[in-house]
Structure 1
């Protein structure tokens, strides 16, 4: 599949997710699962460590986000990723996309 066609397909899927409200339901499910897994607390502790290490006066929000993002992605449990992927696949099948 060429990049243009892939981009169009992604846009179509995203539009359907938004129109049906499924995108917001998936976001809420993700928030809930991350809280249950302790992801938020672990990330908060990591953020505090970074600020303590660098010094509150010498770190910007952008710096903190840059440092936290890879860790945040890595900490998402595989079970949560699988659950969301299954929900998205099911949605797309139901929408015949």
Structure 2
């Protein structure tokens, strides 16, 4: 019993160009601008910020935050309150308020 085995050698194409180098995140950022970059360049970011300010004012959120800050400052004493104190105390309340 004789088995014949053929050796097949595949040759790669000599005219095929080399693969492109792998891209890095930095390369991809230059190729495709982020949504934030697009919004900044188009002015959409500023428009959205202004819309947010208007809505927060309309629903009374800004006035409520001012009232909370004033009450906290009166309670602790004007000279005993820092901006960091206000941020620490008021931020959770502001985030927890429902906007209608």
**TM-score of the two chains, using structure 2 as the length reference:** 0.61
Distance 1:25 1:74 in 2: 25
* 1:62 is the counterpart of 2:84: yes
For the pair 1:40 / 2:62, whether they are aligned, the reply is: yes
RMSD, aligned CA: 2.0
Q: Note the C-alpha offset of 1:75.
A: 2.3
Task: Give, in whole Å, the separation in 2 of the partners of 1:65 and 1:49.
Answer: 14
Cα distance change, pair 43–50 in 1 and its aligned pair in 2 (3 A): same
CA shift digits 1:35-83 (9 cap, x unpaired): 1001111111111111122111211112112211111222251x5xxxx
The TM-score normalised by the length of structure 1 is 0.63
1:29 matched to 2:51? The reply is yes
Aligned length, in residue pairs: 70
Q: Show structure 1 runs of 4+ deviating over 3 A.
A: none
Structure 2, unpaired ranges of 5+: 1-24
**Which of structures 1 and 2 has the larger relative contact order (alpha carbons within 8 angstroms, sep 6+)?**
1
